Chains A and B, each alone.
Chain A
Amino acid sequence: MTEINANADVLRIEGLTVALKQSGTPVIDDISFGVRAGETLCLVGESGSGKSVTSLAVMGLLDPAALEVAGGRITVDGADVLSAGAEELRRMRASRMSMVFQEPMTALNPVEKVGAQVEEVLRVHGEGNAASRRRRVLEMFEAVRLPNPERIHASYPHELSGGQRQRIVISMALIMNPKLLIADEPTTALDVTTQRQILLLISELQQRFGTAVLFITHDFGVVSEIADRIVVMNRGRTVEIGSRTDVLSNPQADYTRMLASAVPSLVPPQRPASTDPEVLSVSNLAMSYKVGDLFSPRPPVHALKATDMSLRRGEILGIVGESGSGKTTLARCITRLIRPSDGSIVLDGVDISRLGETALRPHRRRLQVVFQDPFRSLNARKRVRDIVVEGMLNFGTPKSEAYERAAVLLERVGLSRDMLMRFPHQFSGGQRQRICIARALALDPDVLVADESVSALDVSVQKQVLELLRGICDERGVGILFITHDLRVAAQICDRIAVMRDGQVVEAGTAHAVLATPEHSYTRELIAAAPGRDWDFANFRPYGQPA
């Protein structure tokens, strides 16, 4: 009986345990599951859950100096991976199993044409001659829906878009027609609209070639779109295994319930509109960059075209857009980290768009920022206390008073006052983002600009930080400019939403109006691309189905 099951599975993991070589601490603890031919198995978990280590173990790519397999068996198409030698593994990769990584740019050689890179896979496996290899690569490019395969074949990676690069990586992974494809967060670095296309492509190719897919992701939205079966991992253990409908509609483990219900939905909660006075008003704001130089002038790049918007006290305005939409340029102009080339930024009656650094100083305290990367936005050499009080000391608050206020703020953002003397590296990403929020609040700002502030966080942590921001907005009447690429996050926290594309606001309105009755085609495209939009995660059922 077990013999038959083992044969049906392309990938079979039995009792796999991987431990840190130094300490023997397991990072993966006794996990078992299988993936059948033509099936997509989603491995879901937050950072540190061991999902990437699992995929590396399957590929035989564990760093032998840091990690070692302490027990268990991995078979791919009947062949044992763990006992295979280096040469055997090399032959198995690409032909039996292959992998697609998160960042396509780093997976490609920047100084070699992409066509040659894919052909190399065939060459090292001794497939065909130069002409037949080229033909197969061009066929594969067509299969992954790359436009004009001949031209792409002769392009360098930097000449392609992120989505095209990921298609190249996928064609490289599938060209030897492997039995197993491992995709490790293959769409996380891509824009949502591109993500949707890549997800569709993977499932289409899978049906065509009958490949077994092990898809690793942190996003339950993506899972709900593509999974046949789901494995939920937490701290190196499998928490739950089941079919998509079972796990999503009837999760057994508390951890799964927590994770699924933390997925932000596209349906905004009902909230009364703020009627407080306007605190920030931006009109005709534009930013263009000169490119080229004196000898080879080129037309300037318009990162931000004439933009108008306003923010009330106690309101969260979401700026949603994909990469290159100008949303971050907008944030940097408003916070005056850069000087806009045109337009006005009126903060409580004063236009700050043209002020010099000295004149700007008193206004800086009223406009604070929380950045995206919590690892880079805190100076690693400073204690939390000194980080939080920096702004207060700049404005002449006495030290003792500032220290006391730092303690109170830390408690407000959900940390404790005995953490004041610690250094940033002693905190997790979510905790660091809380420290950043405390630092921004220390000056009692009127406007808080949150630039992708939750994008780097796990969903469960993301949910808590969103709640913290909403709470601060409601209790202090701070106006928050919330910049994000994720329409689902914006739907959860924002009162109003402005959608940006190519440096312009294409649609703006209340969160409800923009999401329920989008007027611009691009907004509709964004909504359609949001992963998991058909599933009501909070209630464990598809939308439109009665309770």
Chain B
Amino acid sequence: MKMSAVLPAARERRAGQWRARLRGNGLTIAASAFLVCLVLVAIFAPLLTSADPILINAVNRLKAPSAQFWFGADTMGRDLFARVVYGARTSLVVGVVAAGASLLLGLLIGLVCGYFPIVDSVLMRVMDGIMSIPSIVFAVALVAITGANLVTVLLAIVLPEFPRVVRLVRGLILSLRNEAYVEAAVSLATPAWRILLSHMLPNTLAPLIVQGSFILASAILTEAVMSFLGVGLPPEVPSWGNIIADGRSYFQLRPGLVFFPGIPLALTVLAINLIGDALRDALDPKLARRG
């Protein structure tokens, strides 16, 4: 079975190969379509609803879904549909920025650690130290010191996450160091920075992209958990975690207060993980190596 998948693909260009494999899977297509829709919703939120997601109006408190309030109104009389739509913005921004920052930081430190053994022994112990901090406790402490805002949430997500990326990149670099073409570059007197950039970096990108997708999913989830626990974004900010936290005491009366933000949250994380799995299969170094 395996061989038949590889043989025709070997003739194609590598890029074409993994694009074809991504396309081949129905679940992956559905997941990608869902994410594209979500991004569009986040970008064009003001066009989808004219309601203000933070405008409090006690008159509308806990209203049932209707033509005016598609998802009903929350405990403060805010339009739930507007809050969920704007919540997509928050989740995606937090997820993308956190994942991007973790990857960038992890990549930089990982490259240096992997290539320079002296730096490695010091920095990796620092990373071990950071990884031993329990993330929720850290988040609570951080909020207690600086107050709840976007920066603390991002910091609370990135700090425990990026050492994992450092480990991944460092491991890849360590194994690439033994590749004959890297040793050939050393004997051609290629400077270390150019070996890192032109020979090693391109070979770390595929696993990094896969790792990035999983960080993205977990960052979105962490933000929701933090907001739910009250150590995340300020309660008025429309975030799926905040909306669920706000609605949980009225769950039996109005289950929609939890389900309307909860379902998109679950679907988003699921979709990102599905795409991550597909990316991992498609970028499998064993299949992609010789092309």
A contact residues vs B (CB 8 Å cutoff): 20-22, 63, 65-66, 335-337, 357, 360-361, 364-365, 367-369, 371-373, 375-382, 390-391, 394-395, 425, 436, 439, 443
Contact = CB atoms under 8 A, between A and B. Distances in A.
Contacts of A379: 181, 185, 199
Given A373-B180, A379-B199, A425-B290, A337 B4 contact: no
Chain B contact residues: over half helix, strand or loop, or mixed?
helix
Given A360-B189, A364-B189, A381-B202, 5 more contacts: A364-B188, A377-B184, A394-B194, A425-B290, A443-B188
Nearest to A20: B7
Interface string B279-291: 0000000000111
Contacts of B180: 371-373, 376-377
A439 B183 contact: no
14 contacts: A22-B7, A63-B3, A65-B1, A335-B187, A369-B187, A373-B180, A376-B179, A377-B181, A377-B183, A379-B185, A391-B188, A391-B189, A394-B190, A394-B194
Nearest to B183: A337
A385 B190 CA distance: 16
Given A22-B7, A376-B179, A378-B181, A367 B289 contact: no
A245 to B, nearest CB: 41
Contacts of A380: 289-291
Nearest to A23: B7
Contacts of B192: 357
Contact of B189 (A65, A361, A381): A361
B289 to A, nearest CB: 7
B36 interface: no
A439 B188 contact: yes
Query: Interface size class for chain B?
Result: 20 to 34
B129 interface: no
Interface core residue of A21, A361, A373, A379 (most chain B CB under 10 Å): A379
Nearest to A364: B189
Given A21-B4, A66-B3, A394 B179 contact: no
B206 to A, nearest CB: 11
A65 B4 contact: yes
A337 B178 CA distance: 10
Given A376-B181, A380-B291, A337 B187 contact: yes
B184 A371 contact: yes
A378 B199 CA distance: 10
A21 B192 CA distance: 46
B24 interface: no
Given A337-B183, A369-B184, A371-B184, A390 B3 contact: no
Interface string B1-34: 1111001100000000000000000000000000
B189 A395 contact: yes
The 7 closest A-B pairs by CB, nearest first: A391-B188, A66-B3, A377-B180, A364-B189, A371-B180, A65-B4, A379-B181
Contacts of A337: 183, 186-187
Nearest to B3: A66
A292 B198 CA distance: 35
Interface string B145-188: 00000000000000000000000000000000001110111111
A364 B290 CA distance: 30
Contacts of B203: 381
A497 to B, nearest CB: 24
Contacts of B291: 380, 425
Contact of B183 (A65, A371, A375, A390): A371
A446 B125 CA distance: 43
Contacts of A63: 3
Contacts of B181: 376-379
B188 A394 contact: yes
A337 B189 CA distance: 11
Given A65-B2, A379-B199, A425-B290, A368 B187 contact: yes
